[in-house]
Amino acid sequence: MKTKKFREPLTNTQLLMTITICIFIGMYVLSMIFLGGGFLHPQQIFDMLNDNASLIIVSLGLTIVMIGGGIDISVGAVTSLTVMSCVLYLNKGGSVVGSALLALGIGLAFGIVQGLLISYLEIQPFIVTLAGMFFARGFTTILSVDPQKVDHKGFQVLMDAEIEIPWLGYYAGNGALIPGTIELGVFIALACFVVVFIILKFLKLGRAFYAIGGNQTSALMLGINVKFTRFMTYLICGTLSGISGFVFMMHTGAGNATNAAGMEMNAIASSIIGGTLLTGGVGNPIGTFFGTLTLVSIKKIVVASGLNQPWWQSITTGGMLCFFILLQSVVLSKRSKKKK
């Protein structure tokens, strides 16, 4: 007699991630059908990745922090400080490798200090990271009020380097083939994605992140070092913010006191749209990746629809964010009632 195999139900993390992916695919397909234009070309996806590689990296860092039950609103300011510091360092004769190490150092410094204050001194994460945001923004302005462009020839070579994919290109109006192009920053973002995925999926540390975010008391009973685990979430997030700054500089080639303004809000929105809960314990880097693409797609759809005023993008993003929060609440509430 054959025994029936029952599928295990999706976890909350898997369910919310699946919803995000389906919404992104459906939204993009509808854009291809009704808006056409750039949405019909693969380069549209490549441009979304090229322009937002740094946002993807920061969103991954925030996903880890939010899974652990915390929040970090300093990531955009740390990215801005990293960009300005690296630009000035390169313009004064520094090396490309040195600027990469500087970016990592800045990110690590913020991750260590904020992680210690939050985890071991038990100061509220919002207060600590708010102070970190003000400090990073202020220090960026001290470094330079005026915009700074990278004049380092070696870095300009790195900045201009891109991978061409002819068979994913398109033909322009004059009949010339324009190949698909992907910047090197995208590959750095994908490498960060793989590392975060491995940490959360396969490592004991990743399981500890979910545990302290889900129920800190239960995590303590399981023998998890809650303070160290929470510290690691901020350390990783700070490191990714530094990497994000370097990737941001690779894309823009310039530093400005207003660089990455609002990035922290976009990163939080990307994580939430991707299925990460602010209450902790639920989240997935795959969902965050598609959450970022969904957020960027919304803005492109608004512009393609003829609503070029910047406030329409903000209104649409806010509406979409509220929709996803409401959807998560309804779905998880129904699942909870069904289990009972």
Question: For the chain, what are the domain ranges?
Answer: 37-326
H or E, element range at 180: strand 177-183
Question: Which residue, 169, 200, 182, 211, is CA-closest to 68?
Answer: 211
User: How far, in Å, CA of 8 to CA of 25, rounded?
Assistant: 25
Q: What pLDDT is recorded for position 324?
A: 87
Q: What pLDDT is recorded for position 176?
A: 73
> What average pLDDT does the chain have?
91
Tens-place pLDDT, residues 296-306: 999 899 888 88
User: How far, in Å, CA of 284 to CA of 286, rounded?
Assistant: 5
Question: Which residue, 128, 136, 51, 19, is CA-closest to 85?
Answer: 136
In 3-state terms, what secondary structure has residue 159? helix
Q: Is the pLDDT of residue 187 over 90?
A: yes
Give the 3-state DSSP-derived string for 66-115, with helices as H, strands as E and coil as C.
HHCCCCCCCHHHHHHHHHHHHHHHHHCCCCHHHHHHHHHHHHHHHHHHHH
Reported confidence tier of residue 1, pLDDT bands at 50, 70, 90:
very low
Q: Is the pLDDT of residue 311 over 90?
A: no
Q: What pLDDT is recorded for position 5?
A: 52
**CA 275 to chain CA centroid, nearest Å:** 13
* Range scoring the smallest mean pLDDT among 36-40, 119-123, 277-281, 331-335: 331-335
Q: Is the pLDDT of residue 2 over 70?
A: no
Q: Is the pLDDT of residue 48 over 90?
A: yes
Tokens 């330079």 locate to: 144
Tokens 């919404």 locate to: 23
Tens-place pLDDT, residues 231-276: 999 999 999 999 999 999 999 999 988 888 889 999 999 999 999 9
User: How far, in Å, CA of 329 to CA of 159, rounded?
Assistant: 42
21: number of Cβ within 10 Å: 19
CA distances from 53 to 35, 105, 191, 248, 325 (A): 25, 20, 11, 8, 24
The answer to whether domain 37-326 has CATH 1.10.1060 is no
Q: Which of 212-216, 240-244, 305-309 shows the highest mean pLDDT? A: 240-244
Q: What pLDDT is recorded for position 340?
A: 60
Question: Which residue, 162, 141, 147, 120, is CA-closest to 77?
Answer: 141
Contact 208, 229 (CB under 8 A): yes
Q: pTM for this structure?
A: 0.94
For the segment 16-40, the average pLDDT, to the nearest whole number, is 91
| Bridge partners of residue 65, in order along the sequence | none
Reported confidence tier of residue 207, pLDDT bands at 50, 70, 90:
very high
Q: What pLDDT is recorded for position 260?
A: 87
Q: What pLDDT is recorded for position 339?
A: 65
329: number of Cβ within 10 Å: 11
**Residue 239 CA neighbour count, 13 Å, CB half:** 11
Q: What pLDDT is recorded for position 257?
A: 85
Tens-place pLDDT, residues 153-165: 999 999 999 999 8
Q: Is the pLDDT of residue 150 over 90?
A: yes
H or E, element range at 220: helix 216-221
